[in-house]
Amino acid sequence: MTERLYYSDCYLREFDARVTETADDGLRVYLDRTGFYPTSGGQPFDLGTLGGVPVTEIIDEEDRIAHVLAAPLIGETVHGAIDWDRRYDLMQQHTGQHLLSAVLEELFGFKTVSVHMGTGANTVDIATSSVTEAQLATAEERCFEIIGQTRPTAITFEDAAAGLRKESTRSGTLRIVSIEGVDRSACGGTHVRSTSEIGLVLTGKSEKIRGITRIEFVCGNRALRRARADNQLLVSIARTLSLPAEQAPERILALTEQNKTLEKERLRLATEQARREGAELYWKTVPDANGLRRVIERGTIDEGVRNKAQAFTANEQAVFLAISDDPPSLLLAASQDSGVHAGNVLKAALTEAGGRGGGNATLAQGSVPDAAALEKVVALLEQRT
């Protein structure tokens, strides 16, 4: 049984303990007591050092807590030091989560169903199919009000806990974390002493997931950093657009629309040009003894080549073959009167070379696995078209 020192003192940064057992060649260590918090209840594990060795993970094994280390630990007694910046940040997030959950329930009756805290954005899942921007703003302001009231938080151990925000599934003595006059929750996590230390609760985007709503939030110094980063982003967007930030959304929308129009126009012109090239190429190509005009082009097979090939074969007695080396693929176009059924001829050649594809009488496309197969198809097509 590991005594959890953080249960009664969340501000304990260093401690001494006795090693009770080691496993994994000294990489997994058990102590008689610990100040390290293991991943539990949505709060991630602490980092730090144990006997000077960096901790990589803290695991809750119910009765005991396993300390996973970066190198084997030597000695019977050890000194533990918790990475305080990380832990204090998580204490701000976790207490802020209790506050946000309590406020969402108080204001709108939204019940918290699960929470997740990490080193990026935290999330709280609430039992409602939608939440508005205005509701989130109201909740942030109510949190801000309570933070300003410097309400103390307390840890108590209760056998018959009543008035909890969420009924506990555990039996026996419960650890109750309360924010005076605001919240009472059964929780094993680490929290700050007073709401003032939460500093700020800032919500982010919310999304609907299978009937619940997931709300992102950050608290404390992390919220300050987020607000600063958001502001820098806005300044940089405004600078890029040479506009005041508040005009940026409208301009971005206008630019997006303009881009769509230009892209449509570009496509129209490209199609027109490809068709013209196809037609010109036809008249430049000398027909063979049977009056058939044949062209083979190597390059990329794209919409432009397709248009060019179709324009070429829109004329009498014409066959157009496009070959791409990377990826190995082909396009075959044939005029109605050419005597070549593009789909059938290409499909047959592809099948013989281990490729696949097909099409109709005038246009067909396909691919082959490699360069050798490509040359085989080209040779077959040269005989048959």
Binding site for Zn ion (CB under 5 A): 94, 187, 189
CA atoms within 13 A of residue 275's CA, in its CB half-sphere: 7
Residue 296 · residue 271 · CB < 8 Å:
no
d(CA 193, CA 179): 9
CB of 186 to Zn ion, least distance (A): 9
CB of 154 to Zn ion, least distance (A): 12
CB of 187 to Zn ion, least distance (A): 3
Q: Which is nearer to Zn ion, 13 or 166 (CB)?
A: 166
CB of 115 to Zn ion, least distance (A): 8
Residues forming beta bridges with residue 67, ordered by sequence position: 29, 58
Q: Which is nearer to Zn ion, 101 or 324 (CB)?
A: 101
Q: Which is nearer to Zn ion, 96 or 357 (CB)?
A: 96
For the record, the structure tokens of 324 come out as: 């791409």
For the record, the structure tokens of 261 come out as: 């129009």
Q: Which is nearer to Zn ion, 44 or 189 (CB)?
A: 189
Sign of CA dihedral 236, 242, 245, 250: negative
Q: What element of type H or E holds 215?
A: strand 212-219
Residue 84 · residue 179 · CB < 8 Å:
no
CA atoms within 13 A of residue 119's CA, in its CB half-sphere: 7
Q: Which is nearer to Zn ion, 28 or 111 (CB)?
A: 111
* Residue whose Cβ sits closest to Zn ion: 187
CB of 162 to Zn ion, least distance (A): 18
CB of 14 to Zn ion, least distance (A): 23
Q: Is 311 helix (H, G, I), strand (E, B) or coil?
A: helix
Q: Which is nearer to Zn ion, 12 or 378 (CB)?
A: 12
